[in-house]
Amino acid sequence: MALAWLSRLFFVFLFLISQASFALIESEREELRQIPDWMPYQGCQETKLLKQCFKWTQEECEIMTERVSQSCLNMHDSQFRDPRTGNLDFWKDKIKDCTIRDVRAKMRGRIVDSMICRNKGVYP
Amino acid sequence: MKTRIAFCVLAFCTTAMASEPDVAAEIKKTLACHQSYLKSASPFYEVFEREGLTFGRGITTLPNTTPRRSALMLSMTDGDQIYTVTVPSPQSSSRGTIEYDFYGAPHVFKMVVPAKDGEKSFCVSYEPDMIDKDHIRKFEKSPPASCDSSQTIRAQTQTGKDAMMYLRTIQSRIHDNMRAMVYNANAYYNNPAKASRTERDAADRLAQFNGQKCQGLSYEGLFGASIDKQLAEMEKVRARAGTPAAPATTPSGTGGTGTGRR
């Protein structure tokens, strides 16, 4: 009987640990909210994917990336408040993927056909 | 007639000599600017210093490839010389009609750089990040044996106009990081109450930066972008903020780049 209780407690303990490892702390959520501040400038440099894979100027790239990454962030905001949904890296990748996907949808017809763009899933 | 020909040859030689850029001076100025900017740069700054080399990553398109195949290129300074190294993607594969390359994978190679006293060897693992900051997993001066299984790539010495062109890879990294700082600092002063941490941080960094050593660099980006213009923009932001201008950072005759987008 005692053994059964102990094993139950053990599983509850394991469950709590797994939850804690996924929960984002406030500073991590803040880091996610910073994405629209840096991503347009970093991603739209000549050597980066957003600039490389679409036919547009750096300024056009920055304006759209800022808008799209902000809307991706808003879309997922309630999800990354939920402690069961993933760690910081998971959410960073999610917001980056969402941004690229939405930019690609908006920029259809101005996509560059290169190996990098195919490889990264930008070119259809 | 002979005098005329001699005069023409002399004039041609003088013009050619005059148009030859002073690469060593430009490298020195670029490195001085980089050093003075380091403390004020954001965490995404992509001019790296490793083992005495200062470098920036570029991207180059290989000729006659369909779809276009790209390769990583590093532009490096060592003393008053500039070198480039072009590294093909580590592997490629085909799936049906679609061919993939692995540009984003770590590029592991042994790099040999010419030097006045022989050659220098480095073991490098460089991973381009297509959105975030690139990752340097390894960059060490090591006995060649530790890197024997990797491909050996010799750095090319660049001179004259080519050297200036490749130096621009480094200058453009400085420029782009400054541009982000100006933009975010501007956003902070537009609405301090609603500013994000990045914007507040950019305003702090801008207040501490003295751009004197970055003046007069020859970098020219698209649409007239230049480091001088960014310095002028910094002065405008400082003026708006009412913070004392850093001494002598504004070169005369520079225009704006329109940072007031927000």
- Give yes or no for residue A15 having a pLDDT over 60: no
Q: What is the pLDDT of residue B100?
A: 60
Reported confidence tier of residue B260, pLDDT bands at 50, 70, 90: very low
Nearest by CB to residue A38, choosing from B57, B89, B198, is B198
A19 pLDDT tier (thresholds 50, 70, 90):
very low
| Arithmetic mean of pLDDT over chain A | 82
For A118, name the nearest residue in chain B, comparing CA atoms only. B100
pLDDT at B244: 65
How many CB atoms lie under 10 A from the CB of residue B253? Answer: 7
Average pLDDT score over residue span A84-90:
81
* Residue to test with chain B: of A45, A50, A73, most B Cβ within 10 A: A45
To 10 degrees, the CA torsion angle through A107, A111, A116, A119? 70
Q: What's residue B146's pLDDT?
A: 76
| Number of residues assigned to chain B | 262
Does some domain include residue A97?
yes
Position A114 scores a pLDDT of 82
Q: What angle do CA B100, B106, B108 make, to 5 degrees?
A: 115
Q: Is the bond preceding B90 in cis, omega lying within 30 degrees of 0?
A: no
B59 vs B223, more confident: B59
The enclosing H or E element of B74 equals strand B70-78
> Chain B, 52-81: which have a CB under 8 Å from a chain A CB?
57-59, 61, 65, 67-70
B190 touches chain A (CB under 8 A): no
Instruction: Flag whether residue B98 sits within 8 Å of chain A, measured between CB atoms.
Output: yes
Write b or e for each residue in A27-37: b if 16 or more Cβ atoms lie within 10 A of its Cβ, otherwise e: ebeebbbebbb
**Would you put residue A103 in left (φ > 0), alpha (ψ -120 to 50) or beta?**
alpha
Cβ contact (<8 Å) for A119 and B132?
Answer: no
Chain A residues in contact with chain B using a Cβ-Cβ cutoff of 8 Å: 30, 33-34, 37-39, 41-43, 45-50, 52, 57-58, 63, 96, 100, 112-120, 123
What is the tens place of the pLDDT at every residue in B192-209?
999 988 999 999 999 999
Q: Tell whether the model's pLDDT for residue B16 goes beyond 60.
A: no
Q: Which of B57, B103, B130 to mutate to test the interface with A (most CBs of A within 10 A)?
A: B130
User: What percent of chain B clears pLDDT 70, i.e. is strictly above it?
Assistant: 81
User: Is residue A109 in some structural domain?
Assistant: yes
Q: What is the ipTM of this complex?
A: 0.71
Q: What percent of chain A has pLDDT over 90?
A: 36
pLDDT in tens, B105-158: 889 999 999 988 889 999 999 999 888 999 999 999 977 787 878 899 999 999
Of the candidates B103, B196, B197, the beta carbon closest to that of A119 is on: B103
Structure tokens at B107: 């590029």
List of residues 6+ apart from B121 with CB closer than 8 A: B110, B111, B112, B113, B141, B142, B143, B144, B147
Residue A124 lies in a domain: no
**Mean pLDDT for chain B overall:** 84
Q: Is the pLDDT higher at B20 or at A27?
A: A27
Question: Which H/E stretch holds residue B118?
Answer: strand B118-127
pLDDT at B109: 94
Cβ–Cβ below 8 Å for B103 and A116: yes
Domain count, chain A: 1
| Residue spans per domain, chain B | 43-158
Q: Show the tokens assigned to A18.
A: 């797994």
Average pLDDT over residues B28-40: 97
Predicted confidence at residue B261, as pLDDT, reads 38
Whether pTM exceeds 0.90: no
Q: CA A93 → CA A19, A31, B131, distances in Å?
A: 20, 13, 10
Neighbouring-strand partners of residue B48? B55
- Position A81 scores a pLDDT of 73
- Chain segment B60-111, per-residue pLDDT in tens: 888 888 777 888 999 999 999 999 999 988 766 655 555 566 777 889 999 9
Report CB contact under 8 Å: A46, B223: no
pLDDT (average), residues A57-72: 94
Q: Are the C-beta atoms of residues B237 and B182 closer than 8 Å to each other? A: yes
- A45 to chain B: which residues are within 8 Å by CB? 46, 172-173, 176
Question: In this structure, what token pair is assigned to residue B26?
Answer: 């430009």
* Inter-residue contact B89 to B71 (CB < 8 Å): yes
What pLDDT shows up at residue B163?
Answer: 96
